[in-house]
Amino acid sequence: MARICLVAAVISLGIGLFWLGNRPQAATTGARKPVRLAVVVVFDQMRGDYVDKWQPLFGTDGFQRMQTDGAWFDHCHYPYATTTTGPGHSAILSGATLDKTGIINNEWYDRRSGGALYCAGSDRYQFVPLPKPIVNDVKVVKPEDAIKTAAKPKSAGNPERMLAETVADVLKRETKGKGKVFGLSLKDRSAILPTGKRPDGAFWFTGQFVTSTYYTDVLPKWVDRFNQSDAASKWYKKDWSLLRPDISYASFSGPDNVKGESSINGQGITFPHPMTGGKPALGKEYYESLANSPYGNELLLEFAKSCIENEKLGQDDIPDLLVVSFSSNDLIGHTFGPDSQEVLDATLRSDLIVADLLNYLDNKVGAGRYSLSITADHGVCPLPEVSAKQGKDAKRISVTTLIKAAEQHLRDTYGKPDAPAEAAKPTKAGMWLESASFPWLYLNERNAVAKGVKPADVAETLAVWLRKQPDIVAAYSTNQLQDRLISDDPICEMAKRSYFPGRSGDIYVVMKPYYLISDPVKGAGTTHGSPHDYDRHVPLMVYGPGVKAGRHNEPTTPQHTAAITAHYLGIPAPKDNMYPLPESLLER
Query: What domains appear along the chain, each with residue ranges and CATH number?
Result: 32-386+534-565 (3.40.720.10), 395-513 (3.30.1360.150)
Q: 121-161 pLDDT, tens per residue?
A: 999 999 999 764 443 333 333 333 333 333 344 679 999 99
Q: How far apart are CA 402 and CA 396, in angstroms?
A: 12
Nearest to 499 by CA among 50, 27, 81: 81
Q: How far apart are CA 16 and CA 32, in angstroms?
A: 32
Q: 323-335 pLDDT, tens per residue?
A: 999 999 999 999 9
Mean pLDDT of 59-86: 98
Exposed/middle/buried for 551, CB within 10 Å: 0-12, 13-18, 19+? exposed
Mean pLDDT of 560-580: 98
Cβ density class 554-584: b for 16+ within 10 Å, e for less: ebbbbbbbbbbbbbbbbbbbbebbbbbbbeb
Please give the span between the terminal C-alpha atoms of the chain, in angstroms, as a whole number.
44
At 13 the pLDDT is 40
Mean pLDDT of 16-28: 38
At 130 the pLDDT is 78
Answer yes or no: are the C-beta atoms of 398 and 66 closer than 8 Å: no
Q: 463-477 pLDDT, tens per residue?
A: 999 999 999 999 999
Query: What is the chain's alpha carbon radius of gyration, rounded to the nearest angstrom?
Result: 23
Average per-residue pLDDT in the chain?
91
**Cα-based distances in Å from 76 to 238, 398, 558, 580:** 37, 32, 7, 14
In the chain, % of residues over pLDDT 70: 89
pLDDT grade, residue 239 (50/70/90)?
Answer: very high
Q: How far apart are CA 349 and CA 367, in angstroms?
A: 24
Answer whether residue 16 shows pLDDT above 60: no
The pTM for the full model equals 0.92
Strand segments (E) across 44-180: 71-73, 107-110, 115-118, 121-122, 127-128, 134-135, 140-141, 156-157
At 485 the pLDDT is 85
